[in-house]
């Protein structure tokens, strides 16, 4: 599938419905993670980047309404940025985040200079990018990061396509940490953990990679 078709899909009605469906208060966001994985996202982040300086410059690719960035601000991080292809989500993010720089942009062409951020991350975003386009996004993330890449994505040992609410070609699961290292072999794996779902046997992975 072409990048333009994917972008059109997420900028259209389906993407708008996704945004509304996943817009939550921070309390609801915490409870969602407890119900789904038995741990809050902030506790996950604490394990992986809790020691990062609080003035580290951080970019989220695919920030939607800013739930992750609002969580990082609760942890004390102050230099937070996001890019999101849905203009409606960027506008809505103003209700959920404060003093956070979220702009319309695509991971296929990140509008920041090389090594601008200390950390570039995704959460549930790479799973929606076609395997054909994934190396482009990964290279862009690595280009913009001075040091770290962080991710939280559906996990499978090999790339698997999943029917997504009746749509084919918009959802996958894979070993995204491994794909990053295949795309950029100089990356080192710092930490990786698997999080099994409370109610079924699906597994997600969080990983931290270093340049």
Residue whose C-alpha is closest to residue 117's, from 181, 55, 56: 56
Q: What is the DSSP letter of 199?
A: S
**pTM passes above 0.85:** yes
Q: What angle do CA 41, 43, 45 make, to 5 degrees?
A: 70
Question: By mean pLDDT, which of 69-73, 90-94, 139-143 is the weakest?
Answer: 90-94
Quick one: pLDDT at residue 4?
67
Give 108's Cβ-side CA count (13 Å radius). Answer: 12
Cα–Cα distance, 7 to 15 (Å, whole number): 9
Q: All domains of the chain, ordered by start, with CATH?
A: 3-210 (3.40.50.150)
d(CA 130, CA 20): 23
**Cα 59 to Cα 146: distance, rounded to the nearest angstrom:** 11
Give whole-number Cα distances, 130 to 11, 14, 80, 160, in Å: 16, 17, 27, 11
Average pLDDT over every residue of 25-34: 92
Mean pLDDT of 70-90: 95
pLDDT digits (tens, 9 = 90+) for 142-189: 999 999 999 999 999 999 999 987 778 889 999 999 999 999 999 999
What is the DSSP code (8-state) at residue 175? -
Judged against a pLDDT cut of 50, whether residue 62 lies above it is answered with yes
> How far is the C-alpha of 21 from the C-alpha of 150, rounded, in Å?
24
What is the mean pLDDT of the segment spanning 58-64? Answer: 97
Least confident residue range of 9-23, 28-42, 59-73, 138-152: 9-23
Reported as a pLDDT band with limits 50, 70 and 90, residue 3 is low
């Amino acid at each position: 599938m072409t990048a333009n078709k994917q972008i059109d899909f997420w900028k259209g009605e389906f993407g708008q419905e996704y945004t509304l469906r996943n817009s939550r208060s921070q309390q609801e966001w915490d409870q969602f993670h407890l119900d789904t994985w038995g741990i809050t996202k902030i506790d996950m982040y604490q394990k992986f980047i809790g020691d990062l300086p609080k003035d580290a410059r951080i970019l989220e690719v695919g920030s939607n309404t800013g739930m992750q960035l609002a969580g990082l601000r609760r942890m004390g991080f102050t230099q937070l940025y996001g890019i999101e292809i849905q203009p409606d989500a960027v506008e809505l993010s103003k209700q959920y985040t404060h003093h956070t720089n979220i702009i319309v942009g695509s991971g296929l062409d990140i509008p920041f200079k090389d090594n601008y951020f200390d950390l570039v991350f995704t959460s549930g975003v790479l799973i929606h990018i076609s395997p054909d386009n994934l190396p482009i996004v990964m290279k862009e993330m690595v280009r913009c990061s001075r040091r770290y890449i962080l991710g939280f994505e559906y996990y499978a040992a090999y790339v698997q396509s999943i029917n997504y609410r009746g749509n084919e070609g918009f959802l996958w699961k894979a070993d995204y940490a491994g794909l990053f290292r295949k795309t950029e072999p100089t990356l080192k794996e710092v930490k990786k953990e698997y999080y099994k779902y409370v109610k079924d046997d699906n597994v997600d992975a969080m990983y931290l990679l270093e340049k």
